[in-house]
Structure 1
């Protein structure tokens, strides 16, 4: 697992999600289903994609009811198709019903993200560029969205504001320019005794030249540049700094950008512009229930 996927964080997320969805009680289930009635359900996949969130689903089931048994039929990151079964879950029918929506909400979105990530990653496999996610995530769901990117073959960029310095255009403008922004960042890290990478955004070849003149950064972002400009920027940098292409990159633009020689390509659409995968949890009725 990624370093941000700690037991404490996952437990906290699941607990908050149940509080939001169940609150004082799942009255529909409490009213209709006897507490001790056994049940079985299957995760049915309805369209092609990449499955993600199976490990999380097991955590959710076991958090609510440790006696629920989950038998997975596929693995996170596996390509799946319509009609496939993702897992079987058996135990108290009431527990299955109460956990159903939380499991599906997480898995549908995570699988959609993993599916898009794998498709975009496949487009640039012939290059050395790596596909990155961004902080353009759903509040309080970032951990799972970045997990899904990782499952789909992408690389996680910084997790949050605290684990890297990224000087974007607004930071630079408010700071009074590239030189002042870099100098201030280096002074801050030294004063606070922090060991963080510094990335800086550039919008033109002139800004790339200025960053190289000032120095003291780890990554130069090439933001919203056309491919010829990006190629020239990569040539100018000459491997002295890592490079990241950014800015509205989609399936149509990613291949020539990857072929420009950049080290990384960040795509916000991996998490903010995806379609959830169509999957559902269906009860498996016993012969006795069918007869009734």
Structure 2
């Protein structure tokens, strides 16, 4: 488990359980054992299975939580995802926290997969953004990969992204080149991305050295095609389309020839996948 996930599980359980699960303590006999399955109520892509299993084990190591479907798998409505056997109190105490992780991550993976399918047959890959739930970034981005997407930078430390708010003045190409060169000298493994709001900026930025990516912000399909033509056959910079991308527009954007399409919606406003725990009734 990534250390951020360890902390998140601990915080989630503390938030939910507090001083104790009073319902299970008073209404479920301590010696009762249970067998159940986490089941898909709708189709999608599974993500968070390993995290959910860890939640059950954190509550009670004696709970047997068996992942029946691997993360990243397409799942159909009615599919059995995790089998649970153990003390009924423990299973019930862990249920909601485990499902919260599983439903959120599966929702992200399922939404990502829809966008990936929509650009199939083109050269474009679907990128995530930093528009994630605070504290959840590692899991949100892991879920994106389970859906077939590609991770953008994890944070401010692993890629430079010079946006319009950083470029506060016109005609600073020399200063911009100097900053890029200094960064590359001190952090040679860090990639540089510049945001371009116009084709004039695209053309200007193509003349700079050390630029790995260009972010084409809120450009029309025609402008995107022209940006691809300006880039020509050179291997870099790679071109990323961004701004207002929806499932209805992403296919047309991909057809322009860009390399990446970033979609904030797959993490900042995704719907949780409908999953539930069903117990097996004893005869």
Q: Deviations over 1:224-272 (max 9, x none)?
A: 1001111111111123311111111111211121111111111111111
Counterpart check, 1:226 vs 2:220 = yes
| Aligned residue in 1 for 2:38 | 43
> Does structure 2 conserve the Cα–Cα contact (< 8 Å) formed by 1:35 and 1:92?
yes
Specify which structure has the higher proportion of helix: 1
Provide the C-alpha distance between the structure 2 equivalents of 1:60 and 1:52, rounded to a whole number of angstroms. Answer: 14
Question: Which residue in 1 is equivalent to 2:76?
Answer: 81
Is residue 213 of structure 1 aligned with residue 207 of structure 2? yes
User: Which residue does 1:249 correspond to in 2?
Assistant: 245
Q: 1:271 aligns to what SS in structure 2?
A: helix
Post-superposition shift, 1:282?
2.1
TM-score, normalisation: structure 2? 0.92
Following superposition, the deviation at residue 185 of structure 1 comes to 4.3
Q: 1:125 to 1:177 in 2, by over 3 A?
A: same
Report SS of the residue matched to 1:89.
strand
SS in 2 for 1:216: coil
SS in 1 for 2:38: strand
Deviations 1:40-84 (A, max 9, x none): 221121112222211111111112221111233322222222222
Instruction: Please give the secondary structure, in 1, of the residue aligned with 2:31.
Output: coil
Structure 1 portions without partners, runs of 5+: 1-5, 288-292
Q: Displacement, 1:37?
A: 2.3
Aligned to 2:19: 24
- Partners of 1:175 and 1:66 lie apart in 2 by 61
SS of 1:228's partner is: helix
Aligned residues: 281
5+ residue gaps, structure 2: none
Task: Indicate yes or no: 2:97 matched with 1:102.
Answer: yes
Taking a change above 3 Å as real, the CA distance of residues 24 and 194 of structure 1, as seen in their structure-2 partners, is farther
1:106 alignment partner, SS class: helix
Task: Give, in angstroms, the shift of residue 181 of structure 1.
Answer: 4.0
* TM-score normalised over the length of structure 1: 0.90
CA contact (8 A) 2:53 2:67 kept: no
Structure 2 counterpart SS, 1:173:
coil
CA contact (8 A) 1:128 1:263 kept: yes
